[in-house]
């Protein structure tokens, strides 16, 4: 799954429809696709917003939709590009808690790019890069 820094939600689709997108090409019924999307939204605490549109959500809520979209297919690896970069510190902490919980409870490997040492210090492993090379 992929989490982008700038969300990349489709503005004309509802929250639940945005989350269903990765499942469109899988062989499953519409009902199963909807069930999985709703479960992913529940996982990130957005069950009350499933019929809203991205423009009706805060930045933190939009990032939660992006996370739900990334995890709806139950990926083993989640790639996150600055998932807290556009958020205030409180919402950043909440997003980081979701990612840490996915890692711990769902056994999802999270590969995250961040410039915020508060978040990198919470991880099990840190790989630092400088000019495209790994440094200690």
Give the pLDDT confidence score for residue 57 in this predicted structure: 96
Give the pLDDT confidence score for residue 38 in this predicted structure: 98
Q: How far apart are CA 2 and CA 70, in angstroms?
A: 5
CB 112 within 8 A of CB 80: yes
CB 8 within 8 A of CB 26: no
CA angle, residues 27, 28, 34, in degrees to nearest 5: 140
- Which superfamily, per CATH, for 2-135? P-loop containing nucleotide triphosphate hydrolases (3.40.50.300)
Give the pLDDT confidence score for residue 47 in this predicted structure: 95
Which CA distances in Å does 29 have to 32, 52, 96, 123, 128?
A: 5, 23, 32, 37, 43
Domain boundaries, the chain: 2-135
Give the pLDDT confidence score for residue 136 in this predicted structure: 78
Give the pLDDT confidence score for residue 4 in this predicted structure: 87
| 24-52: pLDDT as tens digits | 999 999 999 999 999 999 999 999 999 99
Angle, helix 89-105 to helix 59-71, in steps of 10 degrees: 20
Q: What are phi and psi of 15, to 5 degrees?
A: -55, -50
Give the pLDDT confidence score for residue 2 in this predicted structure: 92
Give the pLDDT confidence score for residue 35 in this predicted structure: 98
Give the pLDDT confidence score for residue 66 in this predicted structure: 94
CA angle, residues 109, 30, 49, in degrees to nearest 5: 65
Give the pLDDT confidence score for residue 108 in this predicted structure: 93
Give the pLDDT confidence score for residue 42 in this predicted structure: 94
Instruction: List, for the chain, all residue ranges whose pLDDT scores fall below the cut of 70.
Output: none
Give the pLDDT confidence score for residue 6 in this predicted structure: 85
Give the pLDDT confidence score for residue 122 in this predicted structure: 83
């Amino acid at each position: 799954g992929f989490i982008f820094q700038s969300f990349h939600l489709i503005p004309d689709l509802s929250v639940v429809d945005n989350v269903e997108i990765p499942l469109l090409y899988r062989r499953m019924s519409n009902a199963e696709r909807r069930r999985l999307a709703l479960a992913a939204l529940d996982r990130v605490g957005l069950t009350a917003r499933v019929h809203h549109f991205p423009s009706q959500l805060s930045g933190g809520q939009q990032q939660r939709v992006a996370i739900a979209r990334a995890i709806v297919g139950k990926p083993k690896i989640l790639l996150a590009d600055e998932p807290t970069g556009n958020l205030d510190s409180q919402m950043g902490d909440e997003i980081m808690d979701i990612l840490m919980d996915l890692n711990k409870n769902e056994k999802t490997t999270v590969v995250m790019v961040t410039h915020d040492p508060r978040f990198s210090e919470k991880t099990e492993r840190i790989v630092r890069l400088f000019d495209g090379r790994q440094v200690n």
